[in-house]
């Protein structure tokens, strides 16, 4: 069994990822809901700064961490002129500040693993941008740049760093769209269907495996040929 730290365990994608690692040793985090699978679970609000001691205490039983998966996200559909700076700060904290905070604390334990991996769930909008989601897209794009930079920085430490960028995934965030918007998207998607969370989880599972040791600094797009 491997030691896994999963942040964002109770979201649709996070649940699917957790399921794929349910037989491993998992320390999980989420903002509101409990994890659906066995783990040492901790409630943590990533939208605001938190104490470093929270992470240290959560992983104190792990001498080594094999995989760190960062999967939280909070949809924000607004024109930029209508977006408060408070909401900008919340998006920044969720997507960047908290991610960096976790990596800083976990890295010493990750580098002790013979095949450590960091995997960040980003978004198609982090690559191409999205109208009405400019703030969300901005910080998802920043995640991708961080992944590419850390892949170079950590290469000699035997820690791979990759991102998975899903397109339109079936789940609670998609349900925030109107039926008309979903119908429009389905017409625009080359495969004419939504992405299943299990597809994202399978990609994460592969990137954490020994067969993916030479894959680092990549953003794996799962969007059915929508943006290639």
CB burial string 78-88: b at 16+ within 10 A, e below: eeeeebeeebe
First to last CA, the chain: 35
Rounded to whole angstroms, the Cα distance separating 53 from 59 reads: 10
Q: Is 34 helix (H, G, I), strand (E, B) or coil?
A: coil
The one catalytic residue in 136, 184, 206, 227 is 136
Indicate if 136 belongs to the active site.
yes
CB–CB of 6/17 below 8 Å? Answer: yes
Q: How many CB atoms lie within 10 A of CB 225?
A: 10
CB–CB of 34/19 below 8 Å? Answer: no
CB–CB of 198/146 below 8 Å? Answer: no
Rounded to whole angstroms, the Cα distance separating 143 from 147 reads: 6
Q: Active-site residue numbers? A: 136
């Amino acid at each position: 069994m491997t030691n896994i730290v999963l942040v964002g365990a109770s979201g649709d994608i996070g649940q699917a990822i957790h399921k794929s690692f349910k037989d491993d040793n998992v320390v999980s985090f989420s903002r509101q809901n409990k994890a659906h699978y066995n783990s040492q679970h901790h409630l943590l609000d990533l939208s605001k700064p938190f104490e470093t001691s929270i992470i240290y205490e959560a992983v104190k039983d792990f001498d080594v961490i094999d995989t760190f998966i960062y999967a939280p996200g909070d949809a924000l559909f607004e024109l930029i002129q209508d977006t408060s700076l408070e909401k900008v700060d919340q998006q920044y904290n969720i997507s960047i500040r908290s991610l960096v905070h976790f990596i800083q604390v976990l890295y010493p334990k990750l580098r002790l693993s013979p095949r450590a991996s960091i995997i960040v769930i980003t978004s198609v909008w982090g690559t191409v941008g999205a109208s009405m989601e400019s703030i969300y897209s901005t910080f998802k794009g920043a995640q991708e740049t961080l992944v590419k930079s850390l892949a170079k920085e950590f290469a000699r430490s035997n820690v791979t760093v990759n991102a998975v960028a899903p397109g339109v995934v079936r789940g609670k965030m998609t349900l925030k769209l109107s039926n008309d918007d979903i119908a429009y998207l389905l017409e625009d998607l080359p495969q004419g269907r939504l992405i299943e969370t299990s597809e994202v989880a399978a990609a994460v599972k592969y990137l954490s495996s020994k067969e993916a040791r030479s894959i680092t600094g990549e953003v794996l797009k799962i969007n059915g040929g929508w943006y290639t």
